[in-house]
Amino acid sequence: MRSLSLDQLRTLLEVVECGSFSAAARRLHLTQPAISLQIRELERRFGLKLIERLGKQAHATVPGRELIEAARRVFRECDSIDAAMRRFREGWIGRVRISMTLTSMVYKLPPILRQIRLDHPGIDLVITNTPTPTSVDNIIHNRIDLALVNLPVQKKQLKITPLCAENMFAIFPAGTRNLPDVITPGDVAKHHLLVEQQTSAAYALVIGWLAGHGPQTRQPMPLGTVEALTSAVASNLGMAIVPEVAIAAHSSDFVVRPLRPALSRTLALIEHRNKPNEPALELVRNALLVLRESGPSQSGSVSVAGPRTSSMRKKKRNRTERRPN
């Protein structure tokens, strides 16, 4: 059987939409006999009557209507093919689907994503915000291409590239007094602790840090994201343990203390081990690996001197100034 002709399908559509062979011929810039020939060949191919005349009007038969619906789907796909090929011709490189934690999206990725846009405008970036467990599942099932997650992650299907360590700090509402210079799990037990949602990697990290040093007398309150935690602490709803990057620009809004024992989390890039490499994917992957070159965060970049420490320093300075020579 001969291959189905798109020209014949287009002719059938035009005849039915125009209601006549002559009108379809004018629209397609063909002669009426040429239109009639294409319809006869199409009917001969399927062995069915596709067009019937009612007076001067041409109408589709029942099988003709079925064929027209299929033809419309075919032409929609053809349009998609044309659009895809046009994008390649105009410099389109490909599409990369990235998932990331909200913290990395807010604090780490904007300059990198901006640079990708400037250097490679032919790459379509599809960016979503999901917690680490969801990103892992999406990578495994090929719903996304790359993901930024918080370790630990252990899946044999994944290629895992650690990027940078993020030191964790305790934050308290501004004005909180009589805090020790460092915060232990025992100190946390005296306060109302706010934590990220239970499905997050950060929740397990903080709860594990607490559990290793005796039972807590108060149950922590899950609030969702790091941004929700910092907002809640600023509103005097409790204290929280958050990554340094979330407080570096707003340390004056909180009383910040380091932890003992120290606690950190690692941001990592994950992808499927069997993911075929493509030009767009490689370019985006290399851009994200810049985070690895920046190295771990430095604990000294956040001031941890709260009101109590500042007050003591001021009193000491005043006493020195009054001391006689």
Instruction: Please tell me the predicted confidence (pLDDT) of residue 21.
Output: 93
In a domain, 316, yes or no: no
Which one, of 95, 94, 104, lies nearest residue 269 by Cα? 104
In a domain, 319, yes or no: no
Instruction: Please tell me the predicted confidence (pLDDT) of residue 288.
Output: 95
Instruction: Please tell me the predicted confidence (pLDDT) of residue 115.
Output: 93
Give the number of domains in the chain: 3
Amino acid at 87: R
In a domain, 126, yes or no: yes
Q: Give the CATH number of the domain where residue 282 resides.
A: 3.40.190.10
Instruction: Please tell me the predicted confidence (pLDDT) of residue 84.
Output: 77
Select from 89, 113, 146 the last residue of a domain: 89
In a domain, 315, yes or no: no
Name residue 43's beta-bridge partners: none
Distance in Å from the first CA to the final CA of the chain? 111
Residues 261 and 172 in one domain: yes
Backbone dihedral angles phi then psi of residue 178, each to the nearest 5 degrees: 60, 40
Residues 157 and 195 in one domain: no
In a domain, 318, yes or no: no
In a domain, 279, yes or no: yes
Residues 178 and 262 in one domain: yes
Select from 70, 89, 108 the last residue of a domain: 89
* Percent of the chain whose pLDDT exceeds 70: 86
Average pLDDT across the chain, whole number: 85
Cβ(257)–Cβ(241) below 8 Å: no
Instruction: Please tell me the predicted confidence (pLDDT) of residue 73.
Output: 93
Residues 247 and 170 in one domain: yes
pLDDT digits (tens, 9 = 90+) for 118-153: 999 889 899 999 888 899 999 999 999 999 998 888
Tokens of 76: 């929609």
Which one, of 245, 229, 241, lies nearest residue 110 by Cα? 245
Residues 173 and 221 in one domain: yes
In a domain, 129, yes or no: yes
> Strands, DSSP E only, in 112-200?
123-129, 146-150, 158-173, 193-196
Instruction: Please tell me the predicted confidence (pLDDT) of residue 236.
Output: 92
Residues 149 and 274 in one domain: yes
**pLDDT mean over 162-173:** 93
Q: Does 323 have pLDDT greater than 50?
A: no
Tokens of 100: 């990331």
Sorting pLDDT into bands at 50, 70 and 90, what band is 217? low
Range of the domain at 227: 165-266+299-307
